[in-house]
Amino acid sequence: MTQRFSLYEDLSIEENLDFVARVYAVPQRREAVDKSLERLGLTARRQQLAGTLSGGWKQRLALAACLLHDPQLLLLDEPTAGVDPKARRDFWEHIHDLAAEGMTVLVSTHYMDEAERCHQLAYIAYGRLLVQGTAAEVIAQSGLATYVITAHGEANEHALTLLGHELRIAPGVETIVPFGTTVHVSSHDQAALAAALERVVPRGMFDAQRVPPSLEDVFVSLMQDAKDNVQ
C-alpha cells in the first residue's frame, strides 16, 4: 500500500476493488470484494466515488484493495500521512486486528506514537539500521538521560525559548526539543547534563525533572548523529 492514493477517483469503491481483483485474477472475485468491503467497514459506501472520499476513507479503500487476496505479508508505506487523528486510530485498529489474525504487517512511519503501537521497531537512516527491538528495548538501549523543563511563576513561553537557546550550546547537552509549554533536554552523559542544567537553569523560574526518554527523544538523538550518505 503506497503513501499516495493510487486508485481511480472516478470509479466507486466497489468498482475499484472489482477492477483490482480482476487484474490480479483473484479467485471468487465477487465474494472477495464483498469480504474486503465488510472487513474495512465500506459496505454502506460501496457505490460512493473514490474521489469524493476523505483522506481516511481513501486509506481504508487502499487497504481493502491490498487485502483482496488474503496476503500473509502486508507492506504499508506511511499509510496515515495527512490523515486526521480519529481516522488514524481507526486505521491502526484494523492493522492490529489483521495482526491478531496472523498477518505480518511491515509499516514505515515518521510518527513515533504510531511506532509505539508496533510489536517490533527498526530505526533506519540513510540506508543504515541504527537500532531495533521492542519500544522498551529501543529506549533502554539508547542510554539516554532526559529532563523535562517547565516554566512556572512569572516565567513565560518566551523565557523558555530563550533558555532553550542557551541550553543548546551548553556543554553536556546533546539534544533539546520543544514540546508545547515544555522543553525536553537529553544527553548520553547524565552527570554532564545534570551539571549543565544546574548551571544554566535559573532556580525559582523553571523546574527540571528527569523523566524516562520517549521514543521521539531517542529518534531525535539517533538522527542527530546519523550521517547523510550523499556527499
Q: What is the pLDDT of residue 50?
A: 96
Average pLDDT of the residues in 13-40:
94
Neighbouring C-beta atoms of residue 91, cutoff 10 Å: 19
Average pLDDT of the residues in 108-135:
91
Average pLDDT of the residues in 142-150:
92
What residues does CATH 3.40.50.300 cover in the chain?
Answer: 13-119
H or E element in which residue 186 lies: strand 182-187
% of the chain residues with pLDDT over 90: 55
| pLDDT tens digits for range 67-111 | 999 899 999 998 888 788 888 888 899 899 999 999 999 999 988
Q: At what angle do helices 135-142 and 215-225 cross, to 10 degrees?
A: 50
Q: What is the pLDDT of residue 33?
A: 96
Q: What is the pLDDT of residue 154?
A: 58
Cα–Cα distance list, 33 to 21, 46, 122, 180 (Å): 7, 10, 34, 45
What residues does CATH 3.30.70.920 cover in the chain?
Answer: 139-225
- Given a cut of 70, whether residue 155 has pLDDT beyond it is no
| pLDDT tens digits for range 164-218 | 888 888 888 999 988 878 889 999 999 999 998 888 887 677 888 999 999 999 9
Q: Domain 13-119: what homologous superfamily?
A: P-loop containing nucleotide triphosphate hydrolases (3.40.50.300)
| pLDDT tens digits for range 33-44 | 999 999 889 999
Q: What is the pLDDT of residue 18?
A: 97
What's this model's pTM, rounded to 2 decimal places? 0.79
% of the chain residues with pLDDT over 70: 97
- Given a cut of 80, whether residue 158 has pLDDT beyond it is no
Give the CATH number of domain 139-225.
3.30.70.920
Confidence of residue 51 (pLDDT cuts 50, 70, 90): very high
Average pLDDT of the residues in 132-146:
94
Cα–Cα distance list, 78 to 3, 95, 110, 164 (Å): 5, 13, 7, 31
Q: Which of 148, 152, 139, 140 lies closest to 197 in space, CA to CA?
A: 148
Type of residue found at 150: T
